[in-house]
């Protein structure tokens, strides 16, 4: 157990370095489909497909990373790196619609997108250590994220704040529950929650895409 926790702590530190490296590098090497929202979102349908794909990918990559982290897998740094590439792709999509400042705030602002991923890493480490206080702190930070980031998104796309906050809270609960089940060895339950969390991201994508299409008069 001690060796597993030591490995996990090392991997968590490596993940933090990965996040920092991508922030400094500006996140190069994106997939072709993630290069520019403005080029792809010629129609409301294009916008919806782009957001659905990016957000669905986020859920899968996030769960892959936390599952690897809680077991102390050596695959964690690579999983964290891939997850951050997806984060950068999402920020570029936001920037192409609302400007570079909004894209950077989305990605790097306090209690914004990258922050919520770090909070999940914090939660993962605490679960592995059976650190109840650490788990509670991470959950509190994630709840604050749903409010702060929810208000940011709602203000940008013109949706009611409670609707966006509740959607984000659902996402947080799903990812937390999936990790809890996986860490407890309840793999059947974890697999069900994995699918539900992935599917939920398409509802989130549709919610945001509909509001943005209306705002930007996309047909």
Cα within 13 Å of Cα(61), Cβ side:
18
Question: Residue 12 CA to chain centroid, in angstroms?
Answer: 16
Give the model's pLDDT for residue 6.
42
CB 151 within 8 A of CB 161: yes
- How many other C-beta atoms are found inside a 10 Å radius of the C-beta of residue 117? 22
Predicted structure pTM score: 0.81
pLDDT score of 42: 74
- Where exactly are the structural domains of the chain? 2-25+41-216
Cα-Cα end-to-end distance for the chain: 56
Cβ neighbours for 192, distance < 8 A, ≥ 6 positions apart: none
Cα distances (angstroms) measured from residue 99 to each of 38, 91, 108, 215: 11, 10, 14, 15
pLDDT (tens, 9 = 90+) of the chain, 219 residues, equals: 444 444 444 444 434 333 333 333 333 333 333 334 544 457 999 999 999 999 999 999 999 999 999 999 999 999 999 999 999 999 999 999 899 999 999 999 999 999 999 999 999 999 999 999 999 999 999 999 999 999 999 999 999 999 999 999 999 999 999 999 999 999 999 999 999 999 999 999 999 999 999 999 998
pLDDT attached to residue 41:
55
Please give the pLDDT value at position 150: 97
Residue 149 in contact with residue 168, Cβ under 8 Å? yes
């Amino acid at each position: 157990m001690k060796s597993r926790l030591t490995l996990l702590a090392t991997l968590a530190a490596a993940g933090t370095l990965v996040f920092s490296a991508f922030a400094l590098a500006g996140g190069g090497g994106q997939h072709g489909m993630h290069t520019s929202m403005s080029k792809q979102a010629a129609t409301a349908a294009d916008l919806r497909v782009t957001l659905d794909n990016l957000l669905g990918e986020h859920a899968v990559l996030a769960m892959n990373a936390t599952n690897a982290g809680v077991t102390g897998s050596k695959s964690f740094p690579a999983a964290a790196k891939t997850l951050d590439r997806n984060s950068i792709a999402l920020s570029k999509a936001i920037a192409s619609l609302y400007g570079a400042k909004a894209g950077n705030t989305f990605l790097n602002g306090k209690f914004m997108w990258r922050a919520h991923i770090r909070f999940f890493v914090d939660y993962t480490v605490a679960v592995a250590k059976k650190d109840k206080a650490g788990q509670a702190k991470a959950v509190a930070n994630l709840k604050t994220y749903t409010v702060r980031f929810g208000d940011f998104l709602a203000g940008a796309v013109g949706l009611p704040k409670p609707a966006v906050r509740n959607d984000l809270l659902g996402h947080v609960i799903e990812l937390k529950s999936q990790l809890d089940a996986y860490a407890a060895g309840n793999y059947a339950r974890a697999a069900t929650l994995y699918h539900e969390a992935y599917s939920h991201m398409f509802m989130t994508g549709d919610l945001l895409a509909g509001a943005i299409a209306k705002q930007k008069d996309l047909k």
